[in-house]
Amino acid sequence: MEQTDPQTESLRAKPLWRRPDLIAMFVFAGGFMTIALVVAASLLFPQPGKARSLALGIFAVLMFGSVGAGVAWLSVWVARELKREERAREQWPKQPWRWQEDWAKGEVTYSQWKKPAGLAVFALLWNAMSWFGLYTFVFAEQAKPEFLAALVVAPFCMIGIGLVVMFARSVCESRRWGSSRLVLKTCPAVIGNSLVGYINTSQAIAGESEIRLTLTCLESRIARAKVGRFEVGKGERYDHLLWQGSRVVHKRLPGAERESTRIPVAFSIPDGVRSSGSSISWVLEADADGHWPRYHSDFEVPVFRIQGGAGRLALDAEALGEWVSDETFASMVGRASGQVICDGPRSLELSFTTEHSRRVLIGQGLLGILWMIVSWGIAASPQVPMIIRFLFPLAGVILGGAIIVEWLTVLTLEVSPRSIVRRRRILGVELLREIEVADVEQVEVVQKRHGVLSLADQCVRVRTRNGKTHLLVHGLPQRVIGEAIARKVEGILAGNP
């Protein structure tokens, strides 16, 4: 008889009336609908000469009403899904991969229209609030426009325009690729064995495009705010990366239609990783480099530990070695905006055009632009105290200078059996840090979060025998790249490259 992981057996379905998240959604929807009804009732008796108040009331009714109706529909859908999952739990109590409808069928579908649908709602609400605020402060019924308030609201309007551009781009990608379907030959994927299957795309991918597959294990965590050694509250929820693997597809599987592509999927799942559960998710991503719009899809796959079930799997990842293989080290470094200058048995030299990842630099640049716009508005407003009018633009200049320095920084990492040398070149100035091999205790890969930007990247660092840590490379987009660099460094330091 199949035995599942104790972590999965401990999951039990709760009655709907004991689900605080679902109850909160219903209360939230009811509150928004109540506000919309109250405002709508007040609009039945408008006061003469209050055109702006009337416009604000109509906007409030549309805003609160649409949000309330959307949350109410979502609550009903979640309740139906919970009931369906409860029936599946009762039918297959020891097979949690059957509790999810697509996992039970062995097929997972990715729709390209999920992203534009979410962006459409978010962009609509954001632009409605920001542009209405700009209208209220500048073009409404008042003798003198409020210049400071308008400049404060203007960056939010710029963000709204950016959201519209992102929505248009995602629509183009969705129209090009449609939906993709992952067919699992091993359902579930067993820890210590393999994940094998194939992806059917609705549109053909160009033959010269390189297809890259990434399998990631994520743990959902909540950031804890601390003061000293004490926790003072909960922060935002984020995904912590536990394990990651990457493979490259050499050629497509036969049997696909002319207008579609069949992508082989083959991963070996090591022992020691965690099973899918309430806080653990396994995500398979497929990316194709080539002409825009590029292909991307992601699927949540079932990965479980089954005692005595590994021998029943008919397929293994090695069976598809002709089609799928590990990614080369030079290709990984290239995806991190780097270049392998020297990769010998006793030396390694890497060069990176930027010290941070490009998405972090772009986020910092946009943040700096918005800060400068608000600072100029504060500096031009005579109502603001002089000290504030001086400090905000000064902080903007410092922030802008720091961002420019980050963009112009070039990082070089040199590893030899004697030492590790990290060079940073900034506008012709070189900053050097050298670590002796005798002082190195461990080379590790950690995840670094950027709280303001809600982004995370991977870092490779060295822990010395005195307990200090020294950063070697950061801004890596994937953990698998950091692990490849760490293995190279450890091999050279140990004399076994």
Q: How confident is the model at residue 133 (pLDDT cuts 50, 70, 90)?
A: confident
Q: How confident is the model at residue 313 (pLDDT cuts 50, 70, 90)?
A: very low
Q: How confident is the model at residue 361 (pLDDT cuts 50, 70, 90)?
A: confident
Residue-wise pLDDT for 434-481, tens only, equals: 999 888 989 999 888 765 555 678 899 999 988 899 989 988 888 889
The percent of residues above 70 in pLDDT, for the chain, comes to: 75
The predicted pLDDT at position 340 comes to: 93
Is residue 215's pLDDT more than 90? yes
Find the distance separating the first CA and the last CA of the chain, reported in whole Å.
45
| Whole-prediction pTM | 0.76
Q: How confident is the model over 104-127, as a mean pLDDT?
A: 84
Residue-wise pLDDT for 232-280, tens only, equals: 445 567 788 889 988 888 777 665 566 788 888 988 888 889 999 888 9
Mean pLDDT, the chain, whole residue set: 78
Is residue 413's pLDDT more than 90? yes
C-alpha torsion 35→37→38→44, nearest 10: 150
How far is the C-alpha of 36 from the C-alpha of 60, rounded, in Å?
Answer: 7
Domain 348-355+409-494 has CATH 3.40.710.10: no
Q: How confident is the model at residue 137 (pLDDT cuts 50, 70, 90)?
A: low
Of residues 423, 404, 403, the one with CA closest to residue 351: 423
Of residues 366, 313, 378, 350, the one with CA closest to residue 460: 350
How far is the C-alpha of 226 from the C-alpha of 234, rounded, in Å?
Answer: 9
CA 37 to chain centre: 37
The predicted pLDDT at position 101 comes to: 84
Q: What is the DSSP letter of 45?
A: S
The predicted pLDDT at position 144 comes to: 55
186-190, 360-364, 418-422 — which one is most confidently predicted on average? 418-422
The predicted pLDDT at position 359 comes to: 73
- Judge whether 284 and 299 are in contact, CB under 8 Å: yes
Maximum Cα interatomic distance, the chain, rounded to a whole number of Å: 86
Q: How confident is the model at residue 42 (pLDDT cuts 50, 70, 90)?
A: low
Q: How confident is the model over 114-122, as a mean pLDDT?
A: 82
The percent of residues above 90 in pLDDT, for the chain, comes to: 13
The predicted pLDDT at position 95 comes to: 86
> Residue 141's CB: how many other CB atoms inside 10 A?
10
How far is the C-alpha of 473 from the C-alpha of 446, rounded, in Å?
Answer: 11
More confident residue, 57 or 185: 185
- Judge whether 235 and 252 are in contact, CB under 8 Å: no
Q: How confident is the model over 317-343, as a mean pLDDT?
A: 80
Give me the helix-helix angle, 358-379 and 386-408, nearest 10°.
160
Q: How confident is the model at residue 148 (pLDDT cuts 50, 70, 90)?
A: low
Residue-wise pLDDT for 384-401, tens only, equals: 778 877 888 888 888 888
Is residue 284's pLDDT more than 90? yes
Sort strands 303-304 and 189-190 into parallel, antiparallel or unpaired.
parallel
Cβ neighbours for 50, distance < 8 A, ≥ 6 positions apart: none
Is residue 325's pLDDT more than 60? yes
∠ CA 138-144-48, rounded to 5°: 80
The predicted pLDDT at position 487 comes to: 92
Q: Into which CATH architecture does domain 179-327 fall?
A: Sandwich (2.60)
CA atoms within 13 A on the CB side of 221: 12
How far is the C-alpha of 145 from the C-alpha of 138, rounded, in Å?
Answer: 5
How far is the C-alpha of 435 from the C-alpha of 145, rounded, in Å?
Answer: 60
Q: How confident is the model at residue 182 (pLDDT cuts 50, 70, 90)?
A: very high
Structure tokens at 426: 């900034």
Poorest-pLDDT segment among 22-31, 319-328, 458-467: 22-31
Structure tokens at 365: 């640049």
